[in-house]
Amino acid sequence: MFHKEGYKIIIVTFIIVAAVVLTADKIDIAWMKYLLQGIAVVFLILILQFFRNPKRVTPQNDAHVIAPVDGKVVVIEEVFEKEYFNEKRLQVSIFMSPINVHVTRYAIGGTVKYSKYHPGKYLVAWHPKSSEENERTTIVVENDTYGPILYRQIAGALARRIINYAEEGDQAIQGEDAGFIKFGSRVDLFLPLDTNINVQLNQTVKGGVDVIAMK
């Protein structure tokens, strides 16, 4: 199963790869022909892998904050969040490599209170300033258990397009698609200070499945 954001790229890639394979078939030098065809097929496989969208079943639990994306936990720290809260929050950041699933899912269910796009730079996603200086979207979802929780999709050196489905007033369903980040980046979560964090640094998590935090 592939994500809808990849349909166009997959079709174009398939056409290009088919053309390369057919053209290379006319080359008399065997090793060169097979090399070109092999590279083309591997490229297609990488594109298909990048846009895969595995079905995930998320048990609805208002006491849990689930991982919004697949990747590695690279930050767990107390910070001052100045865009929306203007107060200290617990930040949990998940870095996605190009081989991870890149669907962004709602970490909690509730009402979308804030959704804003920010143009910006394309620093590497693990850069300390990427959360404030890179192209990004900031979304706040609120429910009765946690109050407002903020998550931020951040573009990286390769990720040049952030897709955000959240609009103010929407009802977010925990685990459902909230967006997509093309070609690797990271997502930051900003949680209340009294939240019990359920993950550790460098832990690999699965979006829509693993519990990041709980009340």
- How does pLDDT run across 179-201, given as a tens digit for each residue? 988 766 889 999 999 999 999 99
**In terms of domains, do 74 and 46 share one?**
no
What average pLDDT does the segment 44-63 reach? Answer: 88
103 lies in some domain: yes
Please, which pLDDT band fits residue 123 given cuts at 50, 70 and 90? low
Which amino acid, one-letter code, is at 167? E
C-alpha count within 13 angstroms, C-beta hemisphere, residue 23: 8
Are 98 and 158 within one domain?
A: yes
Q: What is the CATH number of the domain that holds 149?
A: 2.70.70
Answer positive or negative: Cα dihedral of 166, 171, 175, 177.
negative
Are 39 and 70 within one domain? no
58 lies in some domain:
no
Do both 35 and 113 map to the same domain?
no
Q: What is the pTM of this model?
A: 0.83
Instruction: Provide the domain limits for residue 108.
Output: 64-214
CA dihedral for 153, 115, 193, 133, sign (positive or negative)? positive
Say yes or no: 86 and 188 in one domain.
Answer: yes
Same domain, 117 and 201: yes
The answer to whether the beta carbons of residues 158 and 98 sit under 8 Å apart is: yes
CB atoms within 10 A of CB 59: 10
pLDDT in tens, 93-114: 999 887 888 899 999 999 999 9
Q: In angstroms, what CA-CA distances link 54 with 72, 86, 125, 176? A: 18, 36, 24, 12
Whole-angstrom Cα distance, residue 26 to residue 49?
Answer: 29
Does residue 153 surpass a pLDDT of 90?
yes
In a domain, 128, yes or no: yes
The fraction of the chain above a pLDDT of 70, given in percent, is 91
Annotated catalytic residue within 93, 115, 130, 185: 185
Locate 91 and state its tokens. 């930040």
Report whether pLDDT(126) > 60.
Answer: no
Please name the amino acid found at residue 19: A
Has residue 104 been placed in a domain? Answer: yes
130 tagged catalytic: no
